[in-house]
């Protein structure tokens, strides 16, 4: 935008020389672009940094990392990339035979323990054994039943299911791969509720409040400008935290903190893929007539997105 202002100024000077108001190009005329640049920065663009902050935006979605509860060789992967899923759909199957064998073994131990408890109770009724022996047999049954339930759960966990409605963006798991319990193997993302997040520097966020108007442009939709409203402000940074472990905290590294702002954008029916990027400007209560300049620069950006 500064280059445009300088070009307009130089064009004005050229016109004055052309029509004869100014006889020739003077030294002050040649140096005047520097003055135009300095004045524009001081009067227009520096105030815009905190009255109409601009920053990159990105479309982000919630995701859940899929970690199998049991390990073993994968025998089936029915899911494919970018195919809509419903909660409970099978993502992949782990060889169930070892877990089925463990379940049969646990079932046999449970049946044996229950049979022994039955005989102990019969002997206790005839006062042939002490109460402690019957109680021990009952405890064995409870332990055997718990092992049976755990074995049943392990067998059920060989079928790994979608934890939510969504899609798997990239399926790289193949039958024959060995998976480990608790290890990430894929992710399911929720594309039904995307969040458009804007990143703003800390020196530009002081006048930003929820409900203020904003405008957004996206690289994938050149030539279009979308109206928006400031939603939530996430005023926190990772390096601002430390573990409360009882030790004296280390002096944190001083960084140029940025904060995230959720924008509520009127997409006018447009569809945005996760990860779509762009730029946004917030018109705070302090911007006044300078907001027109910010709106013009944002529209210049969206037209440049054609390149």
Task: Report pLDDT digits (tens) over 122-174.
Answer: 888 888 888 888 889 999 999 999 999 999 999 999 999 999 999 998 899 99
More confident residue, 307 or 181: 181
Q: Is the dihedral of CA 70, 75, 76, 77 positive or negative?
A: positive
Residues 6 or more apart in contact with residue 118 via CB below 8 angstroms: none
**Cα–Cα–Cα angle for 57, 60, 63, nearest 5°?**
165
Give the integer Cα–Cα distance in Å for 247 and 87. Answer: 43
C-alpha atoms less than 13 angstroms from C-alpha of 202 in its C-beta half-sphere: 8
Q: pLDDT tens-digit profile of 171-216?
A: 999 999 999 999 999 999 988 888 999 999 888 888 899 999 999 9
pLDDT band, residue 238 (cuts 50/70/90): low
Nearest to 147, CA basis, from 105, 182, 118: 105
Q: pLDDT tens-digit profile of 1-44?
A: 666 666 776 777 777 777 877 777 877 777 777 777 777 667 67
pTM to 2 decimal places: 0.67
Give the integer Cα–Cα distance in Å for 256 and 55. Answer: 14
Asked if residues 109 and 149 have their Cβ atoms less than 8 Å apart, the reply is no
**DSSP 8-state assignment for residue 252:** P
């Amino acid at each position: 935008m500064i280059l445009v202002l300088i070009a307009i100024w130089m064009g004005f000077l050229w016109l004055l020389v052309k029509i004869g108001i100014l006889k020739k190009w003077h030294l002050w005329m040649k140096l005047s672009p520097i003055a135009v640049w300095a004045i524009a920065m001081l009067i227009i663009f520096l105030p815009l940094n905190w009255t109409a902050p601009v920053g990159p935006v990105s479309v982000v979605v919630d995701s859940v990392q899929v970690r199998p509860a049991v390990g073993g060789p994968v025998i089936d992967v029915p899911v494919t990339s970018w195919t809509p899923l419903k909660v409970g759909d099978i993502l992949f199957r782990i060889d169930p035979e070892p877990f089925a064998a463990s379940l049969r073994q646990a079932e046999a131990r449970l049946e044996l323990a229950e049979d022994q408890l039955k005989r102990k109770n019969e002997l206790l009724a005839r006062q042939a054994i002490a109460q402690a022996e019957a109680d021990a047999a009952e405890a064995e049954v409870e332990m055997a039943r718990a092992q049976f339930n755990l074995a049943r759960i392990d067998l059920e966990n060989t079928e790994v299911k979608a934890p939510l409605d969504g899609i798997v963006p990239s399926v790289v798991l193949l039958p024959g791969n060995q998976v480990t319990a608790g290890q990430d193997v894929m992710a399911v993302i929720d594309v039904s509720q995307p969040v458009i997040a804007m990143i703003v520097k800390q020196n530009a966020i002081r006048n930003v409040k929820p409900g203020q108007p904003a405008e957004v442009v996206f690289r994938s939709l050149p030539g279009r400008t979308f109206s928006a409203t400031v939603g939530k402000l996430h005023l926190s940074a990772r390096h601002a935290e430390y573990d409360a472990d009882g030790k004296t905290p280390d002096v944190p590294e001083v960084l140029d903190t940025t904060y995230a702002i959720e924008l509520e954008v009127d997409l006018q029916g447009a569809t945005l893929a996760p990860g779509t990027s762009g730029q946004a400007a917030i018109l705070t209560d302090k911007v006044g007539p300078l907001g027109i300049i910010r709106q013009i620069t944002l529209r210049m950006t969206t037209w440049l997105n054609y390149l």
